Chains A and B, each alone.
Chain A
Amino acid sequence: QVQVVESGGGVVQPGRSLRLSCVASGFIFSSYGMHWVRQAPGKGLEWVAVIWYDGSNKHYADSVKGRFTISRDNSKNTLYLQMNSLRAEDTAVYYCARTGFAELGWFDPWGQGTLVTVSS
């Protein structure tokens, strides 16, 4: 079935880096845009970043621009999120999600999420 599975979360000190991964299966990964969406504890959903199906274009939320980098390896069916200069406010569950149609679209499916905690 169509699914995405995130990994790489953990506890990290402020200012340090972390890389998240998302492995896709059940669909032609190289044909779809992919997103990262996060959710701080007890809060709502916040879109983070998108990458085009071929990696040719990317967009970021202002809150992470210049610190986070989205990338993909279509040969490995894997999406990445490199997070640098982490702050306490980056603490959240990070979900990867496939775009529904065009890169600017709805999100389906979502992974189960991976928790990133930024704390000293």
Chain B
Amino acid sequence: EVVMTQSPATLSVSPGERATLSCRASQSVSTNLAWYQQKPGQAPRLLFYGASTRATGIPARFSGSGSGTEFTLTISSLQSEDFAIYYCQHYYNWPPLFGQGTKVEIK
């Protein structure tokens, strides 16, 4: 199985600053990667699929990049509603595994 590792575990950022989150796969998953945002008490929400294709309604300040084993989620200017936990997930083969998450908190 392909193991996903996210870093850092926690990212402290001030509103208006840039946030860069990383996701690494234990073997190449091509661009078969999705990103989700989860706020407390809510279900996850799809942000990106295909590593860089923005889901419907996702603001342009969010961007996804990468292929193979290294992926990045960037939030260009953090807004108050962006403080949440972010998960990556591969769908290269079975089972489709998630990373352990990165918590983006207010600095």
Contact = CB atoms under 8 A, between A and B. Distances in A.
Interface of A: 44-47, 59, 61-62, 95, 100-101, 104-113
B91 A106 contact: yes
B95 A61 contact: yes
Q: What is the interface of chain A mostly: helix, strand, loop, or mixed?
A: loop
B49 A106 contact: yes
Nearest to A105: B91
Contact of A106 (B46, B97, B99, B100): B46
Nearest to B48: A106
11 contacts: A95-B44, A100-B34, A104-B91, A105-B96, A106-B49, A106-B89, A107-B36, A107-B44, A107-B89, A108-B46, A110-B43
Contacts, number: 55
Interface of B: 34, 36, 38, 42-46, 49, 55, 87, 89, 91, 93-101
B39 to A, nearest CB: 12
B90 to A, nearest CB: 10
3 A-B pairs with least C-beta separation:
A106-B34, A108-B46, A110-B43
A113 B34 CA distance: 20
B66 to A, nearest CB: 15
Nearest to A93: B43
B44 A105 contact: no
